[in-house]
Amino acid sequence: MGNTYTNLEQEFLEYYKQIESYSEAIKLMAWDLRTKAPKKGAQRRSETLSLLSQKTHELKTSDHMKKFIDELKNADNPVIRRSIELVEKEYNLSKKIPLNEYKEFVELTSQAETVWAEAREKSDFEMFRPYLEKIVAFNIKFAEYWGYKENRYDALLDNFEPGVTVKTLDQVFPKLRDDLSKLIQKVSNSSDKPNTEQILAHFPKEKQEEFSLKVLEKMGYDFEAGRLDETVHPFAINVNHDDVRVTTRYDENDFRTAVFGTVHEGGHALYEQGLDKDLYDTPVCEAISMGIHESQSLFWENFVGRNKAFWESYYDLFFEYAPESFKNIPIDQFYRSINEVKPSFIRIEADEMTYPLHIMIRYELEKGLINEEIEVKDLPQLWNDKMEEYLGIRPDNDADGVLQDVHWSGGDFGYFPSYALGYMYGAQLKTAMDQEVNIDQAIKNDDLSPIKSWLNEHIHQKGSMKQPLELLNEVTGEGLNPNHLINYLEEKYGKIYNW
Amino acid sequence: MGNTYTNLEQEFLEYYKQIESYSEAIKLMAWDLRTKAPKKGAQRRSETLSLLSQKTHELKTSDHMKKFIDELKNADNPVIRRSIELVEKEYNLSKKIPLNEYKEFVELTSQAETVWAEAREKSDFEMFRPYLEKIVAFNIKFAEYWGYKENRYDALLDNFEPGVTVKTLDQVFPKLRDDLSKLIQKVSNSSDKPNTEQILAHFPKEKQEEFSLKVLEKMGYDFEAGRLDETVHPFAINVNHDDVRVTTRYDENDFRTAVFGTVHEGGHALYEQGLDKDLYDTPVCEAISMGIHESQSLFWENFVGRNKAFWESYYDLFFEYAPESFKNIPIDQFYRSINEVKPSFIRIEADEMTYPLHIMIRYELEKGLINEEIEVKDLPQLWNDKMEEYLGIRPDNDADGVLQDVHWSGGDFGYFPSYALGYMYGAQLKTAMDQEVNIDQAIKNDDLSPIKSWLNEHIHQKGSMKQPLELLNEVTGEGLNPNHLINYLEEKYGKIYNW
């Protein structure tokens, strides 16, 4: 990839580096707020964050930036050409929204997050409703400013999954939804369900942490370019390209939370740590999309972490940290327990099979709201109806239903589909990887590097040179196809639930 | 204090808030680098730090700032007037140095720190010498740019201790030096020296940490506006006014390092946490000087933490964390052990009595270098001669001598005297406090708040409204006077060493 740049290109990259620097400060502050920061400092911190965000915004939408865009649009160097495409997209998105409306929106969502948190605590949707109505109205307006070809919701989707449209999703989501519902029915009809009682034994946090660190090490996570901390909501964050941190949550009565949470965030982190060093400090040196990011975390969490071979290989290692009582659990029973399928209300606690259905509900509701086919006031009822239809359970309060996710209060519409897309991408990548790498064998050899290397080569190294569906096509030879995920689940869970 | 501002004053404070925001980002990054940051991210981090420093520098020296200075110089509001004095001083200091020379200096010191670290490791002064020569030359040039009345070194001193000059120091330092030397002679002649063997028992780090946290709590440190972490070199840092963090170092074979280190940094932190909330986000809301800052840390460390009443009161509490063997140490023996006086090579490990002599050596050498009376090449020899003269010991390598401190490699000349000044200030403040607060009684009552409140009221709340010697005069009714420190040491150590 092009490492020699013209003077103007150099100048552009120097300019862009300022944006990266502000971004590093912002991300470190965000990490610190969620992990270490004392409570009372948060008020002043948020003012600092807002100043730095404003500076970043100014740099991204300046006349100087416009000049770079105009003059480098047709650069010979493909990295520069693609970089300009990416910054131009951001430039246009920002420029199309009147500044006063944008500021109003930022203020609204900042208030809405606080109101949402209280509303969820009180399970009081009415309290949050007026804010959500305004947020939806803003999203509709923004979508109109930005423009779209077929469906207004496309304008929002494109922010998270460039090139993916309602049309794309409607070709695959209904099939995924129906097939999953059928599989869940099979699970529910099974007379041979795993018993999770024994794996829910008390497991001291410190020991969970030690084991989590061990697993990250096995995955090839670079601890000299990262660290593991504890948070209420686990996340991975690239403070800078050589400083990619992960967090996890410990539940002393369910070790799965920490272990699979760590593997999941570790998967995100390997993506960031695997970006091509030649692309550092260019706009191309970024994860391609939210969905591709999620494909990496889910790949490691599900295809490696919840894989039978993994536990067969590392069961002895696990015993070094787990309480004595775990030694009484036969590996087969253990494996079935960690893969229990059980419809539940909360998305982030959902198992591998029911998870995508939580996304379907959100996608359908968002699409309806943005296209003005449904109204905010009807959301609780619609949410619960869909839960009942797809998952067979009905929340009896809004905290366990429509109020559970933070996303809408933060103004994010169009984000949720990426979670399900990531899952499908992941399964498609697995099919492709299976041609070249024997995942189970790599695990048995206690050497996961072939898995990591394959993902490095086919996904991470490429940064944002392509759009997600282009990359998918290049790597797997086909477009979005839910069958890989369905087949994987059918095969795996047929064995676990003996159907 | 004035909380109503004119429009222009508001505008100035808004402008200043940007500087504060950048400063918060910079300080958080610095804290993170020293506590948590993964190694590989440091390179990119330093580039980000340098960008943010540059932005701060631009804001401090802009035409916009100049306009505020000119227009608000004679403001009615005393907070604004003093604020303008403070920002004008910085403006002038920066403006007087040609930008290219400043950049060259920053680059030089950044290299010099790395070279110094290696030179110290190898105990090879010659390696560091050319860098130090250039740094001294720059400091001489800067002092000339900045100007001074009597002594070139005054221009540098003023950066750390505004209003303090060579003349001030030369009126007190020689007496302090001679009196201390005499006291140390008495200690050395004593036939009844404490035996520290028993207090050097192995003390697990976790327990030291728990006890350190307990002591911080007793001091009145606000944990909702701060936190304690571990570092190689302990420090306190005000990330923002409501986020003042401390760090400490644990030596499992000498608990004194962590406990007194924590109390020392806690003293710094109480200063920052005690600044007047009405002054927040004004330039006045800052510690007055390095010396006054040090007076606060040393106050707590020595007059509270190394006080006999403290250990008599909290000995049972200490036993809750200390290993069993400590219970065999009679309180009197314990107290004498933690106050052992023993000339040693390394300043930061020095005891209460020998510490100021380490500073004298540095002050005399710095003054000589800046006034071109001595040469860098002669430093190792001069250093060792002075060590022998004042402390009676001679380092046999430069790592334990002239190469031990980081300050010179970072370009800081004029800083060291603040350590000794802080100590004298502290003793003078103690004499003043003794008129109003019975320190020993407060400790016996297990309620240190009268001590903290007195310091809050007389020092912390005032921010930077005055210069250090003005404040000292206001609070103690006299100027710099080394006798308070001498008397304190004489009385305390006479009892410990039975002379």
**Digit-coded pLDDT (tens) for A360-392:** 999 999 999 999 999 999 999 999 999 999 999
The predicted pLDDT at position B3 comes to: 66
Residues A480, A339: one domain?
yes
Task: Check if the beta carbon of residue B347 is closer than 8 Å to that of residue B355.
Answer: yes
B239 in any annotated domain: yes
Mean pLDDT along residues B87-100 = 94
Question: Residue B451 CB: number of other CB atoms within 10 A?
Answer: 22
Q: Residue A3: what pLDDT?
A: 66
Question: H or E stretch including B108?
Answer: helix B99-122
- Chain A, window 33-62: residues with a beta carbon less than 8 angstroms from a chain B beta carbon: 36-41, 43-45, 47-48, 51-52
Q: Return the residue matching tokens 């005032």.
A: B462
In sequence order, which residues have a C-beta less than 8 Å from that of residue B330 and are 6 or more positions away? none
* CA-based nearest residue to B291, from B244, B354, B359: B359
Residues of B in contact with A40 (CB under 8 A): 222, 224-225, 242-243
Boundary (domain end) residue, out of A37, A67, A96? A96
- Which residues from chain A sit within 8 angstroms of residue B240, using beta carbons? 41, 44-45, 48
Determine contact: A32 vs chain B, CB below 8 A: yes
Distance CA B28, CA B33 (A): 9
Q: What is the DSSP string of A96-123?
A: HS-HHHHHHHHHHHHHHHHHHHHHHHHT
| Residue B355 belongs to domain with CATH number | 1.10.1370.30
Kindly list the residues from chain A whose CB atom is less than 8 angstroms away from the CB atom of residue B58.
Answer: none
| pLDDT for the residue numbered A110 | 84
**B286 and B199, same structural domain?**
yes
Same domain, A91 and A170: no
Q: Are residues B91 and B173 in the same domain?
A: no
Residues B328 and B412 in one domain: yes
pLDDT of A1: 45
- Note the pLDDT of residue A445: 98
Does residue B238 sit in helix, strand or coil?
A: strand
CB contact under 8 A, B48 and A21: yes
| ipTM score for this prediction | 0.92
Question: Is residue A129 assigned to a domain?
Answer: no
Does a structural domain hold residue A488? yes
What's the domain range around B24?
A: 7-95
Give the pLDDT mean for B115-144: 97
Q: Provide the shortest C-alpha distance from residue B277 to chain A (in Å).
A: 12
Task: Confirm if B486 and B176 have CB atoms less than 8 A apart.
Answer: yes
Q: How many domains does chain A have?
A: 2
- The rounded radius of gyration (Å) of the Cα atoms in chain B is 23
Q: Measured between CA atoms, how close is B226 to chain A, in angstroms?
A: 5
Last residue of a domain, one of A96, A128, A149: A96
Residue A219 within a domain: no
- Structural domain includes residue A148: no
Closest chain B C-alpha to A278 CA, distance in angstroms: 14
Of B209, B265, B352, B366, which is the active-site residue?
A: B265
Q: List all residues 6 or more positions away from A207 whose beta carbon is below 8 Å from its beta carbon.
A: A321, A322, A323
- At B206, the pLDDT band (50, 70, 90 cuts) reads very high
Which stretch of DSSP H or E encloses residue A39? none
Residue among B15, B16, B48 with most chain A CBs within 10 A, to mutate: B48
Which of B67, B95, B123 is where one domain is finished?
B95
DSSP state of A231: -
CB-based contacts of B61: which residues, under 8 Å, 6+ apart?
Answer: B91, B94, B95
Residues of chain A with pLDDT under 50: 1-2
Q: Do A40 and B225 touch (CB under 8 A)?
A: yes
Residues A79 and A185 placed together within one structural domain of the fold: no
Say whether pLDDT at B1 is over 60.
Answer: no
Residue pair B465/B289 in contact by the 8 Å Cβ criterion: no
Residues with Cβ within 8 Å of B303's Cβ and at least 6 positions away in sequence, in order, are: B426, B430, B439, B488
In this structure, the answer to whether residues A191 and A65 fall within a common structural domain is no
Residues A91, A173 within the same domain: no
| In a domain? residue A123 | no
Angle at A294 between CA A443 and CA A357, to 5 degrees: 105
DSSP of B413-446: -S-THHHHHHHHHHHHHHHHHHTT--HHHHHHTT
The three-class DSSP label of residue A405 is coil
Nearest CB among A21, A32, A225 relative to B51 is that of: A21
Tokens 């007026």 — which residue? A130
Same domain, A89 and A171: no
Q: Encode pLDDT of B147-195 as tens digits.
A: 999 999 999 999 999 999 999 999 999 999 999 999 999 999 999 999 9
Cβ partners under 8 Å of residue B285, min gap 6: B241, B275, B276, B279, B463, B464
List phi, psi (to 5°) of A423. Answer: -65, -45
Angle at B306 between CA B187 and CA B286, to 5 degrees: 120
Residues 6+ apart with CB under 8 A from B441: none
Q: Which of A222, A224, A240 has the CB atom closest to B45's CB atom?
A: A240
Indicate whether B85 and B193 sit together in one domain. no
Amino acid of residue A26:
I
Does A383 reside within a domain? yes
CA gap B180, B187 in Å, rounded:
10
How many Å apart are CA A437 and CA A457, to the nearest integer? 13
B223 touching chain A per CB within 8 A = yes
- The answer to whether the CB of A252 falls within 8 A of the CB of A204 is yes
- List of residues 6+ apart from A441 with CB closer than 8 A: none
pLDDT in tens, B236-286: 999 999 999 999 999 999 999 999 999 999 999 999 999 999 999 999 999
Calculate the average pLDDT of chain B: 96
Q: What is the mean pLDDT of residues B311-335?
A: 97
Q: Which of A9, A209, A265, A352 is catalytic?
A: A265
DSSP state string for B378-418? GHHHHHHHHHHHHHS---SSGGGTTTS-STTTTT--S-THH
The minimal CB distance from A39 to the residues B21, B224, B239 is found for B224
Retrieve residue A297's tokens. 């975390």
Q: Does B242 touch chain A (CB under 8 A)?
A: yes
pLDDT recorded at residue A402: 98
- Residue B389: per-residue pLDDT: 94
- Whether the CB of B93 is below 8 Å from some CB of chain A: the reply is no
How far away is chain B from the Cα of A194, in angstroms, using its nearest Cα?
A: 41
Residue A180: burial class (beta carbons within 10 Å; 0-12, 13-18, 19+): buried
Residue type, A448: L
- Inter-chain residue contact B41 with A239, CB threshold 8 Å: yes
pLDDT band of B232, cuts 50, 70, 90 = confident
CB atoms within 10 A of CB B340: 18
**Residue B448 main-chain phi, psi, to 5 deg:** -80, 0
- For B124: left if phi > 0, alpha if psi spans -120 to 50, otherwise beta; the answer is beta
Annotated binding site of B: 264, 268, 294
| Tokens 């003077």, located at residue | A7
Taking each helix axis from N to C end, the angle separating A152-160 and A417-434, rounded to the nearest 10 degrees, works out to 60
* CB-facing half-sphere around the CA of A464: CA atoms within 13 A: 26
Q: How far apart are CA A116 and CA B313, in angstroms?
A: 49
The pLDDT assigned to A234 comes to 93
CA distance A246 to A300: 14
Contact indicator for A355, A424 with CB cutoff of 8 Å? no
Contact pairs from chain A to chain B, CB under 8 Å: 100
Report the residue from A24, A39, A223 with minimal CB separation from B48: A24
Residue A360 lies in a domain: yes
Yes or no: say if B196 and B254 are a contact pair by the CB < 8 Å rule.
no
Same domain for A391 and A472? yes
- Asked about B265 being catalytic, the answer comes back as yes
What is the pLDDT at residue B499? Answer: 87
State whether residue B25 sits within 8 Å of chain A by CB.
yes
Put simply, the answer to whether A52 touches B21 (Cβ < 8 Å) is yes
Together in a domain, B53 and B175: no
